[in-house]
Amino acid sequence: MEMKKIGVVGAGTMGHGIALICAKAKFSVTLLDISLELVEKGYGIIEKFLQKSVEKEKITATEKTEILSRIEKSTALESLKDADFVVEAILEEAKSKFEIFNKLDGIVKTEAILATNTSSISITAIAAQTQRPDKVIGMHFMNPVPVMKLVEVIRGMVTSDATLTETMNLTELLGKTPVVVNDYPGFISNRLLMPMINEAAYALMEGVATEKGIDKVMMLGMNHPMGPLALADLIGLDTCLYIMEVLYEGFKDPKYRPCPLLKKMVAARYLGKKTKKGFYEYE
């Protein structure tokens, strides 16, 4: 299948990043969200990122203009009817994703592939909301999208070989490195990462060390670029808790039980950088 137009549903942190790398790879992109305000916000962040790239002489001003010209802004799912590939990047909540895929299935042409950027929800369950489960796949980008090389390509139970091949090819055209993963809770990245963050929260709750002490051990002793608690703040503590709950529910294993401190902080709306307070405080 010749791929020309890519739709991105969700203009938030992940969505606008995906739209940017698709436009840089010379695809026509439709960036969509529930309101024009959200779309304009995402588009504005793309514009700022490209302007910084111009200032650093990574791209020219002409290239910036060309990249932006490839991005169409929309609030209507119907604008994706002629898309060849659609990436959903809305909030990490199963019911919302199920609804979007059910709607997309009735709008997007039958030969198009529908991908989800979910970091934990079953691809097989999402695919079951459509009449094309063989054309549904997971495409889990890492944050920040323009910088991070990895994309977990998650194959659902019914995902076809052709869909997998097309998605792998697209991932490489976007300048990313795909790793194929089967459909289990948390896939690989979050199945390994989130229990580490959860255990760091337990260590903090039990008074084993301070926030800075825990993070410093992992940074200096394990060569991690940032500590697990700082990373949790960056990801969002609500997202971390949600993924731990998916792991706990999916495996029924007590080792995935969410830390009570993590649950308490989310209840208090201490969600990390986005609320200016999490394990650390932010200006």
Active site residues: 119, 140, 152, 190
Taking CA 194 as the corner, what is the angle to CA 205 and CA 214, rounded to the nearest 5 degrees?
A: 40
**CB contact burial 87-110 (16+ within 10 A = b; e otherwise):** bbbbebeeeebbebbebbbebbee
Q: Which residues contact 277 (CB under 8 A, 6 or more apart)?
A: 270, 271
How many residues does the structure list for the chain? 283
Distance of CA 5 to the CA centre of its chain: 20
Residue 35: φ, ψ to 5°: -140, 150
Starting from the edge strand earliest in sequence, which strands make up the sheet with 136-141, in order? Answer: 71-74, 28-32, 5-9, 85-88, 113-116, 136-141, 150-155, 177-182
Q: Which residues are within 8 A (CB) of 256 and not within 5 positions of it... i.e. 6 or more apart? A: 195, 198, 244, 247, 248
Could you give the CA distance from residue 180 to residue 20 in angstroms, rounded to a whole number? 23
Residue 221 token pair: 């002793």
H or E element, residue 101: helix 94-107
**Contacts by 209-218, CB closer than 8 A, 24 or more apart:** 211/279, 211/280
| C-alpha closest to that of 232 among 283, 279, 275 | 279
Q: Is 127 helix (H, G, I), strand (E, B) or coil?
A: helix
